[in-house]
């Protein structure tokens, strides 16, 4: 190693802020910040284009700490380079309730935290999304305006997770050459040596997907700088394998799993101070060292000034559009386009599957909302998400608006998170609802971060038919509705599908999932309403002829069944109403008075959904009747499956009649 | 190609059974069976050791059709080689309700279907589990008794899924040299050419994890046989990249995505018959060709006769033990050991985290149940699942009972599925509850197949503290409880933990998840009960002093809070009872009378769980009070988090009091 004293001291500043913060919190992960301090020092002092005083500068380089447990590395960097959000007090408050300095980096807690990390493998895949975002925005506004690097620091955990392979393959395919992965190659995981569970050559694996790879001593700052230069010049994405010692500097714990996720302890902190020649007391960075860091922050911001001139030179219309995109505002023409489209639908009353209805809506949306970028996990023809406006994105052409994500649902979700975080883009994409399970960790992070990512999940019930129980969701609606801050839409017809798309696009602070059918459904909306009825979450679709004896609540394809049952019951003289429930979450946001009135007071309440009951008690009460699934589905034609599982209008009528008879008998007895 | 006429005809028998079945069903995937027919013919006529008349023969080679959409390939093979379950009528009933020949292969539908496939990437990972099972059982009973190959046929979809990387890395690490992956390398996925989304060199990727790789013309049966010989001789697992044409033989659709997932259509079926010289009418396999296939089935069974002699020569005690393991029966000493352990716990009243309680229970279990094989996704010290009996499994020593799965939750689940399907082994393993999301597709398949896989998920709430919302499950209990045929246990103390383990081990037809705390909990069971109270799913833990005014339902760590609240309410003269709810699913299996009595009729019902409400209405009704989470958690010390989110005994008391006052006021007004 040939690091200068200054270089070592700057890295040690990270090490001791991290050590001291973990020690004070008596909780946290000192090993990574200590091991990766040299890498981070080189990156933040010599390469990263960012501006601590203008952290949202659109053309900044992105840095993602994929190994999120090493959060103190990032907090140290943000403090040292001068981000206002991360003060020394925040660092002293590491892992305390209400602090910006949470156990893992949380998007939104502080500027400079580009994404929430901690669940392993997500960050590297978000970084792929950001690097893709950079190419997409450059294709739209020119390489002069948008042209920067995306860096991510990953650990062995990130690389063992399967999602990393999906990310690596996608980035290699797209030749995202401004994506640089810094691998903290320390040979240690929580259980001990990596060789306990893995002997993969990561360099060979990345190379297999078309990456450039470099190996470097992760404590030799000059070598790291040289590797970064080489990576930046590459025509392919680059993996830099940085051989490091976890807990570098700790005399008795460095190089072992003991330093991964626990405080060093007072004695070892003292010994580490001695070993690294760091005399400063806890949380004190000597002035000269801090000055050097702050200077690095100022230097890094110079590129922002250059960029401001380019931005100022944009055509006025381009500037307006760029600003709109970066704010995340929808175009002014959006609402009118949806309104006109809804009118047309009510006039024409088409009978189509909601997956097709979604394609029709997207045809309207994509024409007026240029920032949508669609895609599918290799189910383009089945998911119906490619419209006339969305040419495929290819390694040679990023002007397109459609991603072929491959059979990689998990990466698709995490790349969409990266795109949404990048800004200027509204990503939507999907797969079969059943395979939302594959993307679930990414969907959870969309929700936790509160970002506009739209998951379009087709084939949403046993209605998909012959593919059978492996492909038929039964628990997925309930399990997706369980995720906080996540709008799950299940539209009942072509009009509701348009309304749900409208709501999903307008939901800037929560992701959405649209659950859509494979099978055709009639248009149920008979009169045009300017209001978006789905915005209520649930609304009365059919009014009872008299005080309702029966109320039927249903979503999606089962609303048709509810309406048919309602007609049959009304024929029998039983006053019945139907409530369509496209979105549980939005219903919960309505005033209590609306909710109470909508649920009503019919003596018999029935819910119909071709899925499990969980969650429906909210509408029908624990003594309500549920017509749906109690277990897994089966392979067979749809015409046989619905009767087989007893999900029919006749079954609803029978159950209602029986319950009414029971109630009458009870009252007679009373 | 140098295939003989006979070889071609045998392969064509598969092709036309598949074509005709898909045509009749008007639904299905002809492309794979047509493309992979030569590979399958070579495997089933020259290599696979199996016995169609004794399909459960323990030392059979395993074949997993990982690309499950090609189900007609497997059904054709089973019919042609003489499996009784798959008759010609079954093939004619392909994809019809009630048929064994479901859209995707369903475990349990027919002998010869080793696992349920369809969700991509699962089968290859199950196969890794089976190949591991073979090594584990060989280490226990000798290579003389257990010594066979595991083959799996995978498509591009399986290899794009991230789980494949986890599987490949694990198999390479463990040097599972009797695992042979046949890749149907046809360059086509649903969206079109593979190059739309991928340019990975699969051979290079597998080689990076220590695999032997071979490339072969997938329509040249002699070359395939040569490759299989080479693979079987390898000291590493082998990937055979078989270059094939999807829909081989179809003049206008072969080599395109059109033939992947739709019937050929009558004209193209006719053209294909002409192109391949197949004159037989639909569903007719000419007698000579069928005879050749049936002969292959008989020949393949010869090894079973050899094996019978080895089995007959086992020591009587070994034979008894082998049979017990293969039947999946627990040892006779199991119940008494648990009983004695529970007594000891009630005497000693330890205060430990349930993750520690789980370790203590496992120490007892692993001593008497030799078939358990534990593991963790790199959280051995945190999950507490390694006991004194479970040495690590290494590439050189399979006598161990503990797997270091690496940071690969998804593969861990699918490998455990493979181990459970293999037989003779009860796999348990886990990660943090929050990361159950990563394994969810595998957990779903454990449930759909109904197999004994035990997921042990620790750090089960905000109680984990500082790691923050990325690590704190809030929706996971609800979302796991939503999966049909899946027992989710959340024990409240050390005794319940022992009981839940007992139930999980006895649940031979459903997987279990144990959700366990990081934080310590007191022993709540004060008197020893020989009965397993958790078997009821929910039971009264504290009886009210009088007719209950308040009933509190809780699970896991919140039962302590419920008990404390109960004491406070009783002090105030408010009769209160507490119900512990360790398992929703088992509660639902109780007689209606028990369920009704247990829920009771207290005017105020409260549920306490540090998670979302979804599902709890079952116990407390829609007007019940829920004390728990409404959104994501936060980073901070546990002592601050519970009060911050209002999950305390005091909050329960206050809510109860308030509701009682409201009710009194209502009654006063009435």
Degrees to nearest 5, angle at CA B93 with B89 and B97: 135
| Rounded CA separation B378/B365 (Å) | 22
A102 touches chain B (CB under 8 A): yes
Asked if A511 and A548 sit in the same domain, the reply is: no
Q: Is the pLDDT of residue A1 over 90?
A: no
Residue B71 and residue B123 in contact, taking contact as beta carbons nearer than 8 Å: no
pLDDT digits (tens, 9 = 90+) for B539-553: 999 999 999 999 999
pLDDT of residue A66: 98
Degrees to nearest 5, angle at CA A118 with B474 and A445: 55
Domain assignment of residue B105, yes or no: no
Domain assignment of residue A110, yes or no: no
Average pLDDT over residues A64-79: 98
CATH number assigned to the domain comprising residue B597: 3.40.50.920
Asked if A619 and A569 sit in the same domain, the reply is: yes
Q: Which one, of B144, B139, B213, B579, lies nearest residue B393 by Cα?
A: B139
CATH number assigned to the domain comprising residue B371: 3.40.50.970
Assigned token pair, B625:
């009070």
Domain assignment of residue A75, yes or no: no
Asked if B476 and B355 sit in the same domain, the reply is: yes
pLDDT of residue A311: 97
B210 touches chain A (CB under 8 A): yes
pLDDT digits (tens, 9 = 90+) for B7-44: 999 999 999 999 999 999 999 999 999 999 999 999 99
B187 touches chain A (CB under 8 A): no
Q: Is the pLDDT of residue A131 over 80?
A: yes
pLDDT digits (tens, 9 = 90+) for A2-25: 899 999 999 999 999 999 999 999
Asked if A562 and A605 sit in the same domain, the reply is: yes
Query: What is the sign, positive or negative, of the torsion defined by CA atoms of B109, B110, B115, B116?
Result: negative
Domain boundary among A455, A480, A515: A515
Instruction: Indicate if B321 belongs to the active site.
Output: no
pLDDT digits (tens, 9 = 90+) for B625-638: 999 999 999 999 99
Give, in order, the Cα–Cα distances in Å from A236 to each of A172, A174, A179, A394, B410: 7, 9, 8, 14, 29
| B-contacting residues in A 143-182 (Cβ below 8 Å) | 156-157, 160-166, 169-170, 172-173
Catalytic residue among B321, B359, B409, B609: B409
- The kind and range of the H/E element at A134 are helix A122-141
Candidates B126, B200, B619: best to mutate against A (most CBs of A within 10 A) is B200
Number of H helices, E strands in chain A: 26, 20
Domain assignment of residue B328, yes or no: no
Beta bridge partners of B185: B243
- Give the helix ranges, DSSP H, for A540-602: 558-571, 584-588, 592-599
Residue B395 and residue B131 in contact, taking contact as beta carbons nearer than 8 Å: no
pLDDT of residue B383: 81
> Rounded to two decimals, what is the model's pTM?
0.98
The reply, when asked if residue B623 is annotated as ligand binding, is: no
The verdict on a CB contact (< 8 Å) between A435 and B441 is: yes
Interface confidence (ipTM) of the complex:
0.98
Degrees to nearest 5, angle at CA B49 with B43 and B54: 125
| Rounded CA separation B260/B51 (Å) | 31
| A-contacting residues in B 554-613 (Cβ below 8 Å) | 612
The verdict on a CB contact (< 8 Å) between A197 and B405 is: yes
- Overall residue count recorded for chain A in this entry: 670
Average pLDDT over residues A180-187: 97
Asked if B477 and B559 sit in the same domain, the reply is: no
Residue A242 and residue A186 in contact, taking contact as beta carbons nearer than 8 Å: no
Q: Which one, of B221, B203, B131, lies nearest residue B167 by Cα?
A: B131
Average pLDDT over residues B100-112: 98
| C-beta atoms surrounding A507 within 10 Å | 21
Domain assignment of residue B178, yes or no: yes
The verdict on a CB contact (< 8 Å) between B162 and A160 is: no
Domain boundary among B286, B305, B324: B305
pLDDT digits (tens, 9 = 90+) for A486-503: 999 999 999 999 999 999
CA-based nearest distance B344→chain A, Å: 31
Degrees to nearest 5, angle at CA A490 with A485 and A494: 130
CA-based nearest distance A482→chain B, Å: 5
Q: How far apart are the first and last CA of chain A?
A: 91
Burial status of residue A368 (CB atoms within 10 A of its CB: 0-12, 13-18, 19 or more): middle
Give, in order, the Cα–Cα distances in Å from B182 to each of A333, B106, B237, B401, B644: 53, 21, 11, 29, 55
| Rounded CA separation A473/A496 (Å) | 21
Give me chain B's average pLDDT, please.
97
Residues of B within 8 A of A99 (CB-CB) are 635
Assigned token pair, B10:
């045998």
Query: What is the sign, positive or negative, of the torsion defined by CA atoms of B406, B411, B417, B418?
Result: negative
**pLDDT bucket at B385, cuts 50 / 70 / 90:** confident
pLDDT digits (tens, 9 = 90+) for A373-427: 999 999 988 888 789 999 999 999 999 999 999 999 999 999 999 999 999 999 9
pLDDT of residue B1: 57
Radius of gyration for chain A, computed over Cα atoms and rounded to the nearest angstrom: 28
Nearest CA in chain B to A381: B191
**pLDDT bucket at B381, cuts 50 / 70 / 90:** confident
CA-based nearest distance B568→chain A, Å: 28
Range of the domain at A159: 5-67+119-305
pLDDT of residue A282: 98
pLDDT of residue A371: 98
CA-based nearest distance B188→chain A, Å: 11
Beta bridge partners of A539: A580
Asked if B388 and B429 sit in the same domain, the reply is: yes
Query: Number of folded domains in chain A?
Result: 3
The verdict on a CB contact (< 8 Å) between B208 and A202 is: yes
Q: Mutual orientation of helices A354-368 and A494-506 as an angle, nearest 10°? A: 50
| Rounded CA separation A277/A295 (Å) | 23
Asked if B506 and B545 sit in the same domain, the reply is: no
Asked if B498 and B545 sit in the same domain, the reply is: no
| Rounded CA separation A234/A480 (Å) | 41
Domain boundary among A480, A515, A550: A515
| C-beta atoms surrounding A270 within 10 Å | 11
Domain assignment of residue A200, yes or no: yes
Q: Is the pLDDT of residue A670 over 80?
A: no
CB neighbour list of residue A46: distance below 8 Å, 6 or more residues apart: A225, A228
Give, in order, the Cα–Cα distances in Å from B232 to each of B205, B225, B599: 20, 11, 60
Asked if B511 and B639 sit in the same domain, the reply is: no
Query: In this prediction, what percent of chain A has a pLDDT beyond 90?
Result: 98
pLDDT of residue B592: 97
Q: Which one, of B466, B581, B579, lies nearest residue B518 by Cα?
A: B466
Residue A15 and residue A34 in contact, taking contact as beta carbons nearer than 8 Å: yes
pLDDT of residue A395: 98
| Rounded CA separation B483/B488 (Å) | 9
Asked if B509 and B543 sit in the same domain, the reply is: no
pLDDT of residue A384: 80
| Rounded CA separation A94/A98 (Å) | 10
**pLDDT bucket at A667, cuts 50 / 70 / 90:** confident
**pLDDT bucket at B382, cuts 50 / 70 / 90:** confident
Asked if B509 and B542 sit in the same domain, the reply is: no
Domain assignment of residue A320, yes or no: no
Concatenating the DSSP letter of every residue in A384-437 gives T---TT-PBPBTTB----EEE--S-HHHHHHHHHHHHHHSS-EEEEB-BGGGHH
The reply, when asked if residue A185 is annotated as ligand binding, is: no
Candidates A96, A435, A635: best to mutate against B (most CBs of B within 10 A) is A635
**pLDDT bucket at A314, cuts 50 / 70 / 90:** very high
Q: Is the pLDDT of residue A669 over 80?
A: no
Give me chain A's average pLDDT, please.
97
Domain assignment of residue B520, yes or no: no
Residue A16, CB half-sphere, CA atoms under 13 Å: how many? 26
pLDDT digits (tens, 9 = 90+) for A425-462: 999 999 999 999 999 999 999 999 999 999 999 999 99
pLDDT of residue B549: 98
Q: Is the pLDDT of residue B179 over 90?
A: yes
**β pairing state of B179-185 and A604-608:** unpaired
Backbone angles phi, psi at A193, to 5 degrees: -70, 145
Nearest CA in chain B to A483: B475
Q: Which one, of A454, A116, A468, A221, lies nearest residue B103 by Cα?
A: A468
| Rounded CA separation B224/B230 (Å) | 10
pLDDT digits (tens, 9 = 90+) for A650-661: 999 999 999 999
Asked if A359 and A473 sit in the same domain, the reply is: yes
pLDDT of residue B164: 98
CA A614 centroid distance within chain = 24
């Amino acid at each position: 190693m040939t690091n200068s004293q200054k270089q070592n001291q700057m890295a040690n500043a990270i090490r001791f802020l991290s050590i001291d913060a973990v020690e004070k919190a008596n909780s946290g992960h000192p090993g990574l910040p200590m091991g990766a301090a040299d890498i981070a020092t080189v990156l933040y002092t010599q390469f990263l284009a960012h501006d601590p005083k203008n952290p949202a500068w659109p053309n900044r380089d992105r840095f993602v700490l994929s190994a999120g447990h090493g959060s103190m590395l990032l907090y140290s960097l943000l403090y040292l380079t001068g981000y206002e959000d991360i003060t020394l007090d925040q660092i002293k408050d590491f892992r305390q309730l209400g602090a910006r300095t949470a156990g893992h980096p949380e998007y939104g807690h502080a500027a400079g935290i580009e994404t929430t990390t901690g669940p392993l493998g997500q960050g590297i895949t978000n970084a792929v999304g950001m690097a893709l975002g950079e190419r997409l925005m450059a294709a739209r506004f020119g390489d002069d305006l948008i042209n920067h690097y995306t860096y991510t620091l990953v650990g062995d955990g990130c690389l063992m997770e399967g999602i990393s392979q999906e990310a690596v393959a996608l980035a290699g395919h797209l030749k995202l050459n401004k994506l640089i992965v810094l691998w903290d190659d320390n040979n240690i995981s929580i259980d001990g040596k990596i060789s306990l569970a893995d002997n993969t050559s990561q360099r060979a694996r990345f190379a297999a997907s078309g990456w450039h790879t470099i190996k470097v001593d992760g404590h030799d700052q000059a070598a790291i700088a040289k590797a970064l230069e080489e990576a930046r010049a590459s025509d392919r994405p680059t993996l830099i394998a940085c051989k490091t010692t976890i807990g570098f500097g700790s005399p008795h714990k460095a190089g072992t799993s003991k330093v991964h996720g626990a405080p060093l302890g007072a004695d070892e902190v003292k010994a580490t101070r001695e070993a690294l020649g760091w005399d400063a007391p806890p949380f004190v960075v000597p002035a000269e060292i801090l000055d050097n860091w702050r200077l690095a922050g100022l230097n890094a911001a110079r590129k922002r000034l250059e960029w401001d001139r380019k931005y100022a030179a944009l055509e006025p219309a381009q500037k307006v559009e760029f600003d709109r995109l970066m704010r995340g505002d929808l175009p002014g023409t959006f609402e009118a386009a949806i309104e006109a489209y809804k009118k047309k639908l009510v006039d024409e009353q088409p009978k189509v599957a909601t997956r097709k209805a979604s394609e029709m809506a997207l045809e309207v949306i994509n024409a007026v909302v240029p920032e949508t970028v669609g895609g599918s996990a290799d189910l383009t023809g089945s998911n119906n998400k490619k419209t006339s406006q969305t040419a495929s994105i290819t390694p040679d052409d990023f002007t397109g608006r459609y991603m072929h994500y491959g059979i990689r649902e998990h990466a698709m979700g995490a790349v969409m998170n990266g795109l949404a975080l990048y800004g200027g883009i509204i990503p939507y994409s999907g797969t079969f609802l059943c395979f939302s399970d594959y993307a679930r960790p990414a969907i959870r992070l969309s929700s936790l971060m509160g970002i506009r990512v739209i998951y379009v999940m087709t084939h949403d019930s046993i209605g998909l038919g012959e593919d059978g129980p492996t492909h038929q969701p039964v628990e997925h609606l309930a399990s997706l509705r369980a995720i906080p801050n996540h709008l799950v839409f299940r539209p009942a017809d072509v009009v509701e599908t348009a309304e749900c798309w409208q709501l999903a696009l307008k939901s800037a602070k929560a992701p959405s999932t649209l659950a859509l059918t494979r099978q055709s459904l009639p248009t149920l909306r008979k009169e045009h309403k300017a209001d978006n009825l789905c915005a209520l979450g649930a609304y009365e679709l059919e009014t009872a002829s008299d005080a309702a004896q029966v109320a039927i609540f249903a979503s999606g394809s089962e609303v048709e069944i509810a309406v048919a049952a309602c007609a049959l019951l009304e024929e029998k003289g039983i006053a019945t109403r139907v409530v369509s429930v496209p979105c549980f979450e939005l219903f919960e946001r309505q005033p209590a008075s609306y909710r109470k009135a909508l649920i009503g007071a019919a003596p018999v309440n029935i819910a119909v959904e071709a899925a499990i009951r969980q969650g429906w008690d909210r509408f029908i009460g624990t003594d309500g009747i549920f017509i749906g699934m109690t277990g897994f589905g089966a392979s067979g034609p749809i015409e046989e499956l619905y009767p087989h599982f007893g999900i029919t209008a006749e079954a609803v009528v029978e159950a209602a009649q029986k319950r009414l008879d029971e109630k009458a008998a009870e009252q007679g007895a009373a």
